[in-house]
Each structure stands twice: as C-alpha cells, then as structure tokens.
C-alpha cells in the first residue's frame, strides 16, 4: 500500500472520528452533569440536520443564492433550534424524573427518540425518503498521487475540531464551565455556593444538543444527504465512543470517537473477511475494551465518590 492511500484512509477516519466525537461529547456532558444517559441524542442530531435542511430551502425560496450566507443561516437556525429542544427535553422530561430510578430516564429518552424519528418520517413532507442536502462548501480538490483531499472535507474537519476545542475551553476555562463542573461534582454543595442548578442543567443540555446539531449539519454537508434514520446508528456509535473513552470525561469522548472511527476503517480495509462485518468488528472490540476497563479508557475523575 502506498503512502497516498494510507493518507486517504487516515483522512476518512479523521472525518468520521470528528463526527463521532461531537456526538460522544454530548453524551458525556449529560452524564457528567446529571448522571443520566439520554438516548434520544442521535435523533436530536437528526432534528438538527432536518432543521438545517429546511432553513436552506427557506433561504433559497426567498432568493438568496450565496452559499456562505446560506451556510451561516443554516448553522445558526439549526443549532439554536436544537439547543432549545435539548433544554426543553431537560426541563420537562429529564429534571422531573431526577429522583426516579435512572432506568426511567433512559426509557423515556429512548421513547422520545423513537417519537422524534417517526414524527419526521410521517409529518415532514416526503419525510421517509432521503433528502439531497446541498453542497454549500467549495468542492475543489487537491490530488497528491493517489491521495485526494477535498476543500469541503478539510473545512468540515477543521470546523469540527474547532468546535470540540471550543467546548473543551468552555468547560475548563470559563465561569460557566466551572459551574457545570461544580454541579457535576456535587450538586448540593454547588447549590449552597449560589449556583443556579436548574439553569446550569438546561444550559448543559442546550450545549450538548447544539453540538449534535453541528454534527448533523456536518454529516449532511459531507454525505450530501440526510434521512430520518441517520441518528440511530450515529447515536449508538456516539454512546459507545463515550463509554469506551470513559463517560463523564470530555477527553475520553474525543478519544472514543476517533478510536471507533479507526476500528471501523481497519475493519473494512485491513481484515481478511468481508467488509460487511466492519461494525461487528468495531463493536466487538468495544465489548472487549469494556471488559478490560469497565470505567473506560480515561475514567471520570470523581468516579470514586460515594
């Protein structure tokens, strides 16, 4: 195998990894703050992608042709709407059940995910068919031997990584992040210190859902297609990535996302058996990793609390 192809595999893997990491970060944020697993996360991502797609149709309908303007509008509307949806879910479904067994929250968000998915399928015009997402980014490509690098892929990966770094800074370097970490560590003490608990939970869910919307748009721009079922597998992969990385740890989520993408690529390319088994292989390795390190590769720092 020549070096160009190796580069190509690497570029593909990084692209996938960025998307997975963005989803995994959401799972980790929710778990860190509230100790809940929100299974509707993948479908919230799909809602983000569809909101973006609808915004684009609206922009075209009012006659704006500039792809950059369209892109900004798509991102702003989609992230804002999805963040609001995330906060609503936290306020009306997750917080009221906080003192119920964690299984109930898991179940209620699982059902919410199905409701969102079926809702789009049934009520979005022609929602059961895949939609051709517009290519809003420049498609010029750079050919280096057998390695072809496209401008849109580079922009998407850079933007994705920038968002991940931004989130990381937000959590670790700002007052808001400090409050989120305080709530994550000890809810009672945080409240005594004057932190508005409900507000912090809502903001965290909004941030996580906004990141999912970004991943949804990224997915649409990269594959030029969105469909109602896109969140299902992405949600599952994001969740697994968060788990192998170590739930509750943002670095773990990033590591998990890239690890999973790497496993899939290796599964499809380097293994002797058919590429149809790449997901089986990737999830199999995840199972093995979990058996080896039950708390994830990077354990949550406060996981030893009682």
Cβ-based nearer residue to another protein, 57 or 135: 135
Residue 283 in the binding site for another protein (CB under 8 A)? no
Which of positions 239-268 make contact with another protein (CB under 8 A)?
264-265, 267-268
Q: How far is the CB of 53 from another protein (least distance, A)?
A: 13
Residue 114 in the binding site for another protein (CB under 8 A)? no
List the x/- string, 215-244, binding to another protein by CB under 8 A: ----x---xxx-x-xx--x-----------
* Residue 177 · residue 53 · CB < 8 Å: no
Burial of 9 (0-12, 13-18, 19+ CB in 10 A): middle
The two tokens of residue 223 are 């594959």
What DSSP character marks residue 125? T
Nearest to 241 by CA among 201, 282, 211: 282
Q: How far apart are CA 2 and CA 289, in angstroms?
A: 31
- Phi first, then psi: give them for residue 147, nearest 5 degrees: -100, 120
Residue 15 in the binding site for another protein (CB under 8 A)? yes
How big is the site for another protein, counted in residues (CB under 8 A)? Answer: 38
Stretch that binds another protein, among 25-33, 52-60, 131-139, 177-185 (CB under 8 A): 131-139
The length of the chain is 306
- Binding residue for another protein, selected from 276, 294, 305, 306, defined by CB under 8 A: 276
Under 8 Å CB-to-CB from 186, ≥6 apart: which residues? Answer: 305
What is the gyration radius of the CA atoms in the chain, in angstroms? Answer: 19
Residues that bind another protein (CB under 8 A): 1, 5, 8-9, 12, 15-16, 121, 128-130, 132, 134-135, 141, 143, 146, 148, 150, 153, 219, 223-225, 227, 229-230, 233, 264-265, 267-269, 274-276, 278-279
């Amino acid at each position: 195998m020549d070096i160009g192809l190796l580069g190509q595999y690497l570029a593909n893997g990084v692209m996938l990894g960025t998307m997975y990491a963005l989803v995994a970060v959401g799972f980790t944020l929710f778990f860190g703050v509230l100790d809940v697993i929100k299974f509707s996360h993948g479908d919230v991502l799909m809602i983000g992608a569809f909101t973006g797609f609808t915004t684009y149709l609206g922009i075209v309908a009012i006659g704006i042709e500039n792809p950059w303007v369209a892109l900004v509008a798509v991102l702003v509307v989609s992230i804002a709407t999805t963040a609001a949806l995330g906060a609503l879910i936290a306020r009306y479904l997750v917080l009221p059940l906080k003192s119920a067994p964690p299984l109930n929250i898991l179940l209620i968000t699982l059902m919410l995910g199905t409701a969102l998915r079926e809702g789009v399928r049934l009520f979005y015009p022609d929602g059961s068919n895949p939609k051709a997402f517009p290519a809003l980014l420049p498609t010029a490509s750079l050919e280096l031997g057998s390695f072809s690098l496209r401008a849109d892929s580079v922009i998407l990966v850079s933007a994705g990584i920038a968002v991940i770094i931004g989130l990381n800074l937000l959590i670790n370097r700002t007052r808001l992040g400090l409050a989120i970490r305080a709530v994550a560590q000890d809810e009672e003490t945080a409240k005594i210190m004057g932190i508005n608990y409900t507000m912090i939970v809502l903001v965290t869910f909004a941030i996580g859902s906004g990141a999912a919307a970004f991943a949804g748009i990224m997915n649409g721009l990269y594959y030029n297609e969105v469909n109602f079922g896109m969140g299902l597998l992405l949600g599952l992969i994001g969740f697994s990535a968060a788990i192998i990385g170590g739930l509750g740890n943002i670095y773990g989520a990033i590591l998990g996302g890239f690890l999973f993408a790497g496993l899939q690529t290796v599964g499809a390319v380097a293994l002797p058996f058919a590429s149809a088994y790449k997901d089986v292989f990737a999830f199999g390795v995840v199972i093995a990793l979990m058996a080896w390190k039950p708390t994830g590769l990077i354990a949550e720092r406060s996981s030893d609390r009682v």
